[in-house]
Chains A and B, each alone.
Chain A
Amino acid sequence: MNNRERIKKAFLMTVPVLTGYICLGIGFGIVLESKGFNVLWSFAMGLFIYAGSMQYVAIDLLTGGASLIAAAITTLMVNARHLFYGISMIDKYKDAGKAKSYMIFSLTDETYSLVVSEESNDKKLYFLISLFNHCYWVAGCTLGGVIGSFLTFNTQGIDFALTALFVTVFVEQWIMSKNHLSAIIGVVSTVICLLIFGSQYFLVPSMLLITLFLTVFKKYTVEGDKDNA
């Protein structure tokens, strides 16, 4: 595959992320601007933090007079799942060359799900996916900061595109594998923790429970899938 084909493929793959990121990014930029932080702030946050849910939480932290320590701890909890993304990518990003640091930096939920669903092991493609998604996000945040309160068309519900993307990847993974125990563990653990800990604190317990179950049921999670060593 030459680079032109790669660019085209990366773009086609990332279109769903484009719509979600632009809209969520604009939403973020608009809200941030309404709190007194101009477009330079939303641009910088989009560029350097590049984490949607965390950026929205950050608006609360910035305007609520939170301490720097509170901000650090909150970030740890909200973004802890990135630790787990990294673990799944260690082998995939192993020989990624010069772009490896950038690819690690720009690993978001959506980039993760796209790279994971891409079988070809094409590092340049992974890089382009990461880059495009980052660009969409920064563009959205910046646009939001610029537009401010002038946006009037009713886009209510459009950020469902991201949920739809995750469901699609989940279904695709389900179809492509024989052993569904890991997927089930993921859903069940998270639901359990959501019920026990509530929607604000359930992520870290979910990941711990997932890891626990995956460890305990190791024997059963890989049997039946011949391509797993």
Chain B
Amino acid sequence: MPNLHSALMIVIIAAVTIFLRFAPFAIFRNRQTPQFVSYLGIVLPYAIMGMLVVYCLKGIKPITFPYGIPELLACLLVAVAHLLKRNTLFSILIGTVTYMIMVQFIF
């Protein structure tokens, strides 16, 4: 299976990804970043983080067992842990361990 076609495909995937990563910087390189773009730079992080959380949970199916319960419970746990302790490592650890226990032994 690994042949020239595969190698070319990987080059293409890498190239497109690099293009997407560099494009914003190239487009706005020599000009002052327009106010609207600066505005997006301020608000996008919040919106994208929301998008990423949903993206991570995109596979859950609330209609069939286990109804996304392990994921949602673990997320809730992470959120509460973080609200209480404000310690990133702790929040992630407790959520992940709980999730692993849930998917391996309970559900």
Q: Indicate, yes or no, whether A interacts with B.
A: yes
Binding site for B on A (CB under 8 A): 12-13, 15-16, 19, 35-38, 41, 44-45, 48-51, 54, 58, 61-63, 66, 68, 71-72, 75-76, 79-93, 104-105, 107, 109, 112-113, 116, 154-158, 160-173, 175, 177, 180, 182-191, 194, 199, 202-203, 206-207, 210-211, 214-215, 218, 221-222, 228-229
Chain A residues near B54 (CB-CB < 8 A): 186-187, 190-191, 194, 206
Smallest CB-CB A-B distances: 6 pairs? A186-B50, A186-B47, A86-B24, A182-B46, A187-B50, A157-B100
Can you spell out 9 A-B residue pairs with CB atoms less than 8 angstroms apart? A50-B17, A80-B20, A82-B17, A87-B24, A167-B53, A170-B49, A183-B49, A187-B51, A190-B50
The answer, among A13, A113, A168, A203, for a CB contact under 8 Å with B82, is A168
Chain A residues with Cβ below 8 Å from B22 are 86, 104-105
Contact status A210-B47, CB under 8 Å: yes
CB pair B49 A166 closer than 8 Å: yes
A104 to B100, CA, bound (A): 34
Q: Mark B43-86, 1 if CB is under 8 A from A, else 0.
A: 11111111111111111000000000011001100110011001
With CB as the reference atom, state the residue of chain B lying closest to A49: B14
Q: List, in ascending order, chain B residues with CB within 8 A of A112's CB.
A: 45, 48
Are A165 and B49 in touch, CB under 8 angstroms? no
Interface size class of B (residues with CB under 8 A): 35 or more
Report chain B residues within 8 Å CB of A158.
96, 100
Bound-state Cα–Cα, A61 to B59, Å: 20
A82 to B24, CA, bound (A): 9
Q: Which B residues, 8 to 49, have Cβ-Cβ distances below 8 Å to chain A? A: 8-10, 12-14, 16-18, 20-25, 28, 33, 36-49
Question: Nearest-CB distance from B69 to chain A (Å)?
Answer: 13
Chain B residue at minimum C-beta to C-beta distance from A177: B46
How far apart are the CA atoms of A180 and B47 in the complex, in Å?
9
Residue of B nearest to A165 (CB): B92
Report the bound CA distance from A66 to B47 in whole Å. Answer: 33
Contact indicator B92/A161 (Cβ below 8 Å): yes
Residues of A within 8 A of B95 (CB): 160, 163-164, 167
Bound complex: CA of A162 vs CA of B49, how far in Å?
A: 12
Asked if residues B74 and A164 are in contact (CB atoms below 8 Å), the reply is yes
**Is there contact, CB below 8 Å, between A186 and B48?**
yes
Cβ A107 vs Cβ B21 within 8 A: yes
The residues of B that contact A61 with a CB separation of less than 8 Å are 9, 13
Instruction: Give Cα A169 to B50, complex, Å.
Output: 10
A207 to B51 Cα, complex, angstroms: 8
Whole-angstrom distance between the alpha carbons of A10 and B39 in the complex?
A: 28
In angstroms, Cα B6 to Cα A8, docked, is 39
Give min CB distance, B88 to chain A, whole Å: 5
B102 CB contacts on chain A under 8 angstroms: 157
Determine which of A54, A90, A162, A202 lies in contact with B13 in the assembled complex, contact meaning CB atoms within 8 Å.
A54
Give the CA-CA distance A170 to B59 in the complex, in Å: 19
With a 10 A CB-CB cut-off, give which of A49, A80, A229 has the most chain B CB atoms: A49
Closest residue of chain A to B6 (Cβ to Cβ) is A62
Measured between C-beta atoms, what is the minimum distance from B12 to chain A in Å? 5
Contact B21 A104 (CB under 8 A): yes
